Structures are given as structure tokens and as C-alpha cells.
Amino acid sequence: MKNIVILISGGGSNMAAIVRAAERDRWAERFGARIAAVVSNKAEAGGLALAKALAKAHGIATAVVPHKEFPTREAFDEALAKAVDAHAPALLVLAGFMRILTPGFVGRYAGRLVNIHPSLLPAFPGLNTHQRAIDAGCKVASVTVHQVTTELDHGPILAQAVVPVLPDDTAATLAGRVLAQEHQLYPRAIAGWLSDTSCHIR
């Protein structure tokens, strides 16, 4: 069974969408894959409470590695890697995980570490993507699922979806419509990755 570990920092809506998709679309039967664990860097993250509720129904482990307890990024990433490796992940999924990872951590999971970013990469890496898209006069906004490399918000693109920017959009209204697309795109992209991996293994 291929284990998937999800990292979160906030509300966990993408994590929940992935868990629901794994159940609904029978990832265990189709790809030999399951959501094994959800790990947060914040004990107060809303998504952690949601993950604990899902754990009862889906057998998902949860863990917290509080980044503020570590003196350096490297020390935190080493502790995070230990928590992740306890579940022998075939795939590590960043779902609203708001930490810049060190090159050592990224290299450890090269080829099996994915992220979702709310823009049409390579446009608008980093933060405040929705306001930047509006300020630039973009007619469309987007969301991108990509493999993680040491360069922030870069790496091979796995999937993208486009959302129109409406004349009266604010960053908040645009973000809401983009998030709805994230909930659909991320599970599809992960399923595609699992399908490709299954084919290679066979």
C-alpha cells in the first residue's frame, strides 16, 4: 500500500477534499494507496481538529511538530521528516503548509513532494497572488499543482485550472472561487500521479 502523508498549517479544506476523494474514488482499490497521516506545524490549526475527526472514520494518524519549538529551519525540518518517515510515504502532499522547506528536506523527498499554489505558475509565485493578479489586470486567475523543488513555487507542473477574474472581484472573492477549484484539482492531480506511479511499478 502506498502511503500518502499530508502537511497542513491552517483550515485543512484541501486536505479534507483529498481524503474525501480517496474514499469516493477508491484509491486503495485502484492505486493501492491510502491517506496514512496528517501532520501540522501548528497545534491550533483548524485542519488538525478536522483531521482528527476524519481519522476516526478513515484510520488516519495525526501529529503535530510545532515549528516554534526549534531554533533553526534545519532542526524543524529534521523533526518533521522523522514524523513523516514514520509513515513511509510514497507521496508527501503540501496542503496549505505555510513553511519554506530547506533544500535538505526537499531533496529527501524529491519526486514525491507536491504542492498547490493559487496562481498560473510561473506567474505570481509567493504570497498575495489574488491581489497581484487583480492589480496586474489579469482576465483569469488560476491554481497550479506542481512538484516541489528548492526554488519557491517552481517545479514540474502536474495540473492547472483557470478561473475568470470578474470586474468587481476583490482578493477575497477571487480567492473563494479559486479555492473551490483547488478542492477539485488537487485530488485529480494526485490521482494522476498515483496512476502514473502504478503503471511504472507494473
Among candidate residues 117, 130, 154, 200, the one labeled active-site is 117
By DSSP bridging, strand 140-147 and strand 89-94 are: unpaired
Could you give phi then psi for residue 24, rounded to 5 degrees?
-65, -40
Active site residue 183: no
Which residues are CB-neighbours of 61 under 8 A, at least 6 positions away? 36, 37, 38, 55, 87
- Strand partners of residue 8: 40
Could you give phi then psi for residue 123, rounded to 5 degrees?
-75, 140
Amino acid at 34: R
Could you give phi then psi for residue 89, rounded to 5 degrees?
-75, 135
Measured CA to CA in angstroms, residue 157 lies from 32, 47, 62, 87, 143 at distances of 24, 26, 28, 26, 11
Residues catalogued as catalytic:
117
